[in-house]
Chains A and B, each alone.
Chain A
């Protein structure tokens, strides 16, 4: 699992799926540094995103992730560094 890196494209897809949004609705623009607040991701939606990341990539993210990662860039950094604790399969 450690070899795989989560890209912005992956994250954007998971953001969209976690909110149940249709494809084509604009989340593809320059969202890397747009805060999750501004993207409309409240705490429940963030927990849903983080749950999906953990399931798909078999990693554990710290509980503080919701509070610490306030932009897609910050979340990707967390996922791709501190998040690399492989789960037993």
Chain B
């Protein structure tokens, strides 16, 4: 069975004379520049090309006088893509160009759209996990805006009429992220639309008048947040994420290859994800790659906070350690943790003060996460006895998937061994506001430069909540959790500063393990939230969702009519 794949490549055009804000078009200059940018120069090539000019609010006369090339207009980028699909799929054209002028100062954006037929066999079979093939996801993110609320409403109404006329095939032809209209106005709205009922999300989307966007702080989760196949839906579907994960794993040589194999296998890994040898390297790789991904969209975080092992990822982005050194530090931590007798961790719905009377021997407060969420850690037998007493007293207790008693005195031998290794690491002062869970405050230069500070992280208590208090007290922020499972997102959502709306939080991955498509859908939600916050997003970077890296092109499956 054949299906067709729509490929979209986005480029910014450098025009000698920018079109003025809000004006559609891009005239002859833009058309010529776009044709040249994509190498469409010969007359026979031009005959097979159609150009769509996105005209926005104001209908524009069709431009004429272009040699050999057909030029048409469309109200919005989304409509232009739909028309492009029709022209390519039986309209006698090989290439469609979609040109959109900016709302304000900025380059004219050109999308080259092509269609190719692929054999059914090339498509990923459902449930086989990550693949190099095109994506059959049923979610598309529409972004639109207006200068005033009325503009937003009108754009939404036009989108509604486009969506109403859209067939399933047309929907599938859309890129993962569809910026509608001509640029970023102050009134923002976004909708993650489903194939089944695309209009539903469009109708319920809330328009937000974005003032100055709150700056972004990245949160990196640590051990306990891992799960089987976490973030697999992004791997080999988004080039920045994929490259970053591969960079981290490649730094680990053969072990990195084994970790990748265990991560991606659908048939049961050789070493379980909850084992410290898998949990920590993979969390590091995924957290780091998600951080790189957010930054690739044009977001510059102003503050960083990692939970437990996540602090090392935060330190990497703050410039305290090189990526290579951070990976070495993480590996040393794992290596020496293995020499400590097995232990575990518990999450208890109670305050740290309330739990202190229960602490015996080497069982300690491992982490202060939220008002009524505290983690305990210790050697297996001792921890089990404490757990029984807690349960007998009516406490709510959940075992955390961990095989080492991190953040308890039982880890002391490992901390000493790790400290000797860390003296060889080049440590530098943080270049960004880096909050530490070990002091509950901004990390001082003295701590950042101390091998002992970093080594003691495996024995010492994590004061996540106090660190979050400090971060949110410094400035109202948009927190973005760069990691799996929404653990830190949940803590942040219960924080008074987020409850009150002063700050906000958005996760990048689903709250619980799901399909690869669910990973991608969650990430579209992150993009939507950054957009409605008022952040400027790099459209060329967004057009790489869910490309392969190959040709930086979005590969979108589209079943041909009659072959569904």
A19-B370 contact, Cβ under 8 Å, with A44-B347, A47-B396: yes
Chain A residues contacting B501 (CB-CB under 8 Å) are 26
**Interface residues of A toward B: which range?**
20 to 34
- B374 → chain A closest CB, angstroms: 10
- Do residues A45 and B349 form an inter-chain contact, with CB atoms below 8 A? yes
Minimum CB distance partner of B373 in chain A: A44
CA of A45 to CA of B349, assembled, Å: 7
- Do residues B496 and A18 form an inter-chain contact, with CB atoms below 8 A? no
* Count, chain B residues at interface, CB 8 A: 25
- Do residues A45 and B371 form an inter-chain contact, with CB atoms below 8 A? no
- A43 → chain B closest CB, angstroms: 6
CA of A20 to CA of B348, assembled, Å: 13
Chain A residues contacting B347 (CB-CB under 8 Å) are 44
Chain B residues contacting A26 (CB-CB under 8 Å) are 499-501
- B548 → chain A closest CB, angstroms: 31
Chain B residues contacting A37 (CB-CB under 8 Å) are 486, 490, 511
Minimum CB distance partner of B398 in chain A: A44
CA of A9 to CA of B63, assembled, Å: 62
- Do residues B494 and A45 form an inter-chain contact, with CB atoms below 8 A? yes
Do most interface residues of chain B lie in helix, strand or loop, or is the interface mixed? mixed
Query: Is A38 close to B, CB under 8 A?
Result: yes
Minimum CB distance partner of A40 in chain B: B493
- Do residues A22 and B496 form an inter-chain contact, with CB atoms below 8 A? yes
Contact of A18 among B349, B394, B500 (CB under 8 A): B349
Query: Is A86 close to B, CB under 8 A?
Result: no
- Do residues A43 and B398 form an inter-chain contact, with CB atoms below 8 A? yes
Pick the most buried of A20, A43, A55: most chain B CB atoms within 10 A of its CB.
A20
Query: Is A21 close to B, CB under 8 A?
Result: yes
- A46 → chain B closest CB, angstroms: 9
CA of A25 to CA of B499, assembled, Å: 6
Pick the most buried of B347, B370, B373, B499: most chain A CB atoms within 10 A of its CB.
B499
A window 37-60: CB within 8 A of B:
37-45, 47-48, 51, 55
Chain A residues contacting B491 (CB-CB under 8 Å) are 40
Chain B residues contacting A39 (CB-CB under 8 Å) are 493
B219-248 CB mask vs A (1 if < 8 Å, else 0) is 000000000000000000000000000000
B window 343-373: CB within 8 A of A:
347-349, 351, 370-373
Do most interface residues of chain A lie in helix, strand or loop, or is the interface mixed? helix
Minimum CB distance partner of A15 in chain B: B494
Query: Is B492 close to A, CB under 8 A?
Result: yes
A window 1-20: CB within 8 A of B:
18-20
- Do residues B372 and A38 form an inter-chain contact, with CB atoms below 8 A? no
Query: Is A27 close to B, CB under 8 A?
Result: yes
A42-B349 contact, Cβ under 8 Å, with A26-B501, A48-B372: no
- A72 → chain B closest CB, angstroms: 14
B370-390 CB mask vs A (1 if < 8 Å, else 0) is 111100000000000000000
- A12 → chain B closest CB, angstroms: 13
Chain B residues contacting A47 (CB-CB under 8 Å) are 349, 396, 398
CA of A48 to CA of B347, assembled, Å: 12
A19-B396 contact, Cβ under 8 Å, with A25-B499, A26-B499: no
CA of A45 to CA of B491, assembled, Å: 10
Chain B residues contacting A43 (CB-CB under 8 Å) are 398
CA of A86 to CA of B501, assembled, Å: 40
Query: Is B489 close to A, CB under 8 A?
Result: yes
Query: Is B487 close to A, CB under 8 A?
Result: yes
CA of A24 to CA of B508, assembled, Å: 29
A19-B372 contact, Cβ under 8 Å, with A40-B493, A41-B490, A44-B349: yes
Pick the most buried of A20, A26, A40: most chain B CB atoms within 10 A of its CB.
A40
CA of A65 to CA of B176, assembled, Å: 35
A42-B372 contact, Cβ under 8 Å, with A27-B499, A47-B349, A51-B396: no
Contact of A21 among B351, B496, B511 (CB under 8 A): B496
CA of A41 to CA of B492, assembled, Å: 10
CA of A40 to CA of B498, assembled, Å: 10
Chain A residues contacting B371 (CB-CB under 8 Å) are 19-21
CA of A43 to CA of B492, assembled, Å: 15
Minimum CB distance partner of A42 in chain B: B490
- Do residues B396 and A21 form an inter-chain contact, with CB atoms below 8 A? no
A44-B496 contact, Cβ under 8 Å, with A18-B349, A26-B501: no
CA of A19 to CA of B348, assembled, Å: 12
CA of A20 to CA of B396, assembled, Å: 14
Pick the most buried of B349, B351, B394, B511: most chain A CB atoms within 10 A of its CB.
B349
Minimum CB distance partner of A52 in chain B: B396
CA of A37 to CA of B498, assembled, Å: 14
CA of A39 to CA of B489, assembled, Å: 10
Chain B residues contacting A18 (CB-CB under 8 Å) are 349, 372
A20-B351 contact, Cβ under 8 Å, with A44-B373, A47-B396, A51-B396: yes
Chain A residues contacting B499 (CB-CB under 8 Å) are 21, 25-27
Chain A residues contacting B486 (CB-CB under 8 Å) are 37, 42
Contact of A19 among B398, B494, B498, B500 (CB under 8 A): B494
- Do residues A25 and B496 form an inter-chain contact, with CB atoms below 8 A? yes
Chain A residues contacting B370 (CB-CB under 8 Å) are 19-20
User: What are 30 A-to-B residue pairs whose CB atoms are below 8 Å?
Assistant: A18-B349, A19-B371, A19-B372, A19-B494, A20-B370, A20-B372, A21-B494, A22-B496, A25-B499, A25-B500, A26-B499, A26-B501, A27-B499, A37-B486, A37-B490, A37-B511, A40-B490, A40-B491, A40-B493, A40-B494, A40-B498, A41-B490, A42-B486, A42-B487, A42-B490, A44-B396, A45-B349, A45-B490, A48-B372, A55-B394
Residues of A within 8 A of B (CB): 18-22, 25-27, 37-45, 47-48, 51, 55
User: Can you add 9 more A-B contacts, CB < 8 Å, to A20-B370, A45-B490, A47-B349?
Assistant: A20-B351, A21-B496, A21-B499, A25-B496, A37-B490, A40-B493, A40-B494, A44-B349, A55-B394
